[in-house]
Amino acid sequence: MSEEKPVKSPCISVCALNTDDICVGCYRTALEITDWVMYSNEQKREVLQQCHQRFKTINKDMLL
């Protein structure tokens, strides 16, 4: 049985936090960014889902 591949970081090297402490490049919080390497694959997938929701919320006017 092969080992599960690690979940890739969503970082796109646009590292700037907005006033809500959310990165405008990957939509992770500062805490999620710093703790990413310690998260399990399951936790990383949960963060990615939250990032997707943040993206939709932050960019709702652009997605019409």
3-state secondary structure of 23: strand
Which pLDDT score is estimated for 1?
A: 56
The whole-angstrom separation of Cα 57 and Cα 60 is: 5
Which pLDDT score is estimated for 61?
A: 84
Which pLDDT score is estimated for 62?
A: 82
Q: Could you give the dihedral angle defined by the CA atoms of residues 19, 24, 27 and 29, in that order, rounded to the nearest 10 degrees? A: -40
Locus of tokens 């092969």: 2
The 10s digit of each residue's pLDDT in 23-56 is 999 999 999 999 999 999 999 999 999 999 999 9
The whole-number average pLDDT for the span 1-25 is: 92
pTM for the model: 0.87
